[in-house]
Amino acid sequence: MAWHGKLLRVNLTKGTCTPEPLNMEWVKLYLGQRGLGTKYLYEEIDPKVDPLSPDNKLIFVTGPLTGTCASTGGRYSVVTKGPLTGTVACSNSGGQFGGELKQAGWDMVIIEGKSAKPVYLMLVDDKAELLDAEGFIWGETVWDTEDAIKKRHQDPLIRIASIGGAGEGLSRYACIMNDRDRAAGRSGVGAVMGSKLLKAVAVRGTTGVAVNDPKRFLDVTREKRKILDPSPARARYSGLGTMAMMDVTQAHGSLPTLNCREVQFEHIADVNVKKQHTVRKSDGEAPYQGNKACFACSIGCGRMAKIDPDHFSIKGKARYSGVTGGLEYESAYAVGPMCGVQDVEAATYASALCNEHGMDPISFGATVAAAMELFMEGAITTEQTEGRDFSFGNAEALCWAAEVTGTAQGFGKDLGLGAKRLCEKYGHPEFAMVVKGQEFPGYDPRAMQGMALGYATSNRGACHLKAAPFQDDFQRVTPDGKAKIVKDSQDYIAAIDSSGLCTFTKAAWQAPDYADQIDAACEGDWTVERLLELGERIYNLERLFNNAAGFTAKDDTLPKRVLTEPAKGGAGKGHVAELAKMLPEYYELRGWTPDGEPTTQTLSRLGLA
C-alpha cells in the first residue's frame, strides 16, 4: 500500500503508452522517488549514453508518501542522465504536480525514445494519450503552455510539468517546470525532455492514494505535524522563506560573490530579505507579496513577488506586471551577489524569466557571473554581447542575458552551455565555479569545509541539497570531523528524497519521524536502520552509475580558485577548501577504494554486488 504498484511506459518513437506493474522487489530496497528512479535508470540505460540521444530515458517518479496527507507529501523527482554533467541526474520538485500524478494512479512514468514531432502527454487517471503539440504549445513559454492546456481541456485543475524555450533550445541547464514556478531544476533535465520533443506532461487524478493502516497513518501524521508546525524552522521558512539565509552567509563570509572572487557582498542591503519586504516609493508596495505552499505542505516557504512597475526591465511588458514567483535564496544569490548585481527588481525579473522559460537560476546566474569575469579579462567582448557592457554589477546586462538565454538566441546559446563549456570555449576553464560541470549553489566552500566535501562528492555535481553539514560548518571552519557528517547526511537525505516528503522538514523532524510515517503507510517493517541503509544503498548505486559513465576520484574535486586562493574575509578568512584532508577519510567511511570505487565488500553488504 501507498504504492499503486503501477508505472506507465511511454515510447515516444512508437507513440505508445503502456501500463506495467511496478517492480515491488526493488521498492523494498529503494522505496521510491530518487532511489527507485535511479534503480530503473541504472538497469535500463547504458551510463555512457549521450544524454540528449533517444537512448537516454526520462523518469518521473513519486514516493510512497506523495499524494497523501503527510505534511509536504507532494514531492516528485525527475531522474535521467544529465546533459550538464554527464552524471546521474535527480531533480526534485514540489508544487501540485507530484500529488496529482500519484492521485491519478501512477507511481512512475518512464519516457523513452524520441517523437517524430512535438507532442504532450495527457493523463486522466488511467487514460494516457500522446497529443500533438506542434502549432499549439511548441514554441510557447511555460506559463502560456499551462494556460493553453487547461483551456483546451476545459479543466483548471489539470497539473502540468513542461519545458519552455530553454528546454526546446537544449540549454544544458534547462528545467522541467510545474505549476508555473516550481522546478525539477538542476542538471538539465529539461533539455532531455526537449531532445525527445516532449513539451509537457499534463495530469488530472481522481483515484486517490490508499495507505496500509489508514487510522494509524492519520494519527502519526497528526503527531508529526505537532512537531513540525510550531518549530522555529517552520516559522522561519514560512515568514522569511529561504532568503533569510543570505544574511547568514554574508555574516559568515560564505556568500559566493563576483564569481567567487569575494565571499561577502558590499551591497547586501540592496538584495537581502529586508529589501524584499521594504515598501517602494513608486507604487507603495514591497517586492514581497506573500507566501504559498506546495501540495499538503504546512510550511509554505514559496515566495510571491511583484516587480516595481517603473523598473526598466518590465517597461511595456504587461505580462510581468502582476504577482509572480519571487526570489528564493539560491536564485537570489546567483543573479545577485554572484554577478555583483545590487538591483533586487532586476534580480526578480531575471528569476521570473528563469521560471517562464524553464531554466535553472543557479546555473544561469553562475554562468552569467563567469561570462562577466570573461568580459573583464577581455576573452568576451562587446562583439559577443551585441554592444553591451557585460561587467560585474550591470543589472541591464543580467536582464538581457536572461531574455536571450531563455529563448536560445545569439549569445544566449553560449550562456546556455553552462559555465564549464562557456569558459572552455573562451579559453579560461579556471573561471567556471563548477563540480562535475554543475555550478555552485550559494555557499562558498572555503568557510564551509563540510560543504566543500559535499560539493566534491555529490553524485550530481555541486549541490547544497544532497548533504547537510550546515550547522557544523557555521560553527567551525575546519576539515576535522566533516567526512562523517557529510557521509551520514548524504545517506539520510537519499532516504528522505525517496519518500515523497520535502527535505526542509529535516530542520524539525528526526529519522524516527520519517520512519514512523512510512511504516504506517507502507507494507513491511520500515525502521530507522532500514531507511538509513536504504539511503546508503542509493548513494552507492548513483556512484556505480557515475563510475560506469567514466567518472573517477579525479572528478571529486573543486575549482582551483577555492583550493588555492584564500577567502578574503569572514570566518574563513585566510582559508582555502582543504579537500585533500577530507577525501581519504570520506572514502574509507564509505567503504570505497582510494580511487573512489565501492569495494566488493561494500557492494555485497548493500546488495549491489
pLDDT in tens, 475-489: 999 999 999 999 999
Instruction: Name the strands in the sheet holding 198-204, side by side, starting at the edge strand that comes first in the sequence.
Output: 127-132, 119-124, 198-204, 159-162, 176-178, 182-184
User: What is the percentage of the chain residues whose pLDDT exceeds 90?
Assistant: 100
Class of domain 445-605 as given by CATH: mainly alpha
Instruction: Compute the distance between CA of residue 62 and CA of residue 7 in angstroms, rounded to an integer.
Output: 10
Mean pLDDT over 178-191 rounds to 98
Instruction: Compute the distance between CA of residue 293 and CA of residue 316 in angstroms, rounded to an integer.
Output: 31
Long-range contacts of 475-478 (CB under 8 A, 24+ apart): 477/447, 477/448, 477/449, 477/571, 477/572, 477/575, 478/449
Instruction: Compute the distance between CA of residue 581 and CA of residue 587 in angstroms, rounded to an integer.
Output: 11
Instruction: Compute the distance between CA of residue 86 and CA of residue 81 in angstroms, rounded to an integer.
Output: 6
Instruction: Compute the distance between CA of residue 448 and CA of residue 32 in angstroms, rounded to an integer.
Output: 31
What's the pLDDT at 573?
98
What's the pLDDT at 473?
98
pLDDT in tens, 352-398: 999 999 999 999 999 999 999 999 999 999 999 999 999 999 999 99
| Per-residue pLDDT at 336 exceeds 90 | yes
Mean pLDDT over 233-238 rounds to 97
pLDDT in tens, 506-521: 999 999 999 999 999 9
Q: How confident is the model at residue 280 (pLDDT cuts 50, 70, 90)?
A: very high
Dihedral angle computed from the Cα positions of residues 557, 558, 562 and 565, in that order, rounded to the nearest 10 degrees: 60
DSSP secondary structure string for all residues of 477-500: -SSTTHHHHHHHHHHHHHHHTTTT
| Per-residue pLDDT at 47 exceeds 90 | yes
pLDDT in tens, 430-488: 999 999 999 999 999 999 999 999 999 999 999 999 999 999 999 999 999 999 999 99
Mean pLDDT over 568-592 rounds to 98
Question: For the chain, what is the largest distance between any 2 Cα atoms, rounded to a whole number of angstroms?
Answer: 67
Mean pLDDT over 603-608 rounds to 98
Domain segments of the chain: what residues?
6-204, 257-432, 445-605
Does the 6-204 domain belong in CATH 3.40.50.280? Answer: no
| Mean pLDDT of all residues belonging to the chain | 98
* Domains 257-432 and 445-605 belong to one CATH topology: no
Which residues, 6 or more positions from 559, have their beta carbon under 8 angstroms from its beta carbon?
260, 430, 432, 433, 434, 435
| Per-residue pLDDT at 412 exceeds 90 | yes
What's the pLDDT at 596?
96
Instruction: Compute the distance between CA of residue 133 and CA of residue 495 in angstroms, rounded to an integer.
Output: 37
What's the pLDDT at 1?
79
| CB-count exposure of residue 479 (10 Å: 0-12, 13-18, 19+) | buried
User: What is the percentage of the chain residues whose pLDDT exceeds 70?
Assistant: 100
Answer positive or negative: Cα dihedral of 112, 117, 123, 126.
negative
Answer positive or negative: Cα dihedral of 56, 361, 395, 285.
positive
Mean pLDDT over 216-232 rounds to 98
Helices 344-357 and 361-376, packing angle to 10 deg: 120
What's the pLDDT at 211?
98
pLDDT in tens, 66-91: 999 999 999 999 999 999 999 999 99
Does the 257-432 domain belong in CATH 3.90.1300.10? Answer: no
CA end-to-end span of the chain? 29
What's the pLDDT at 235?
97
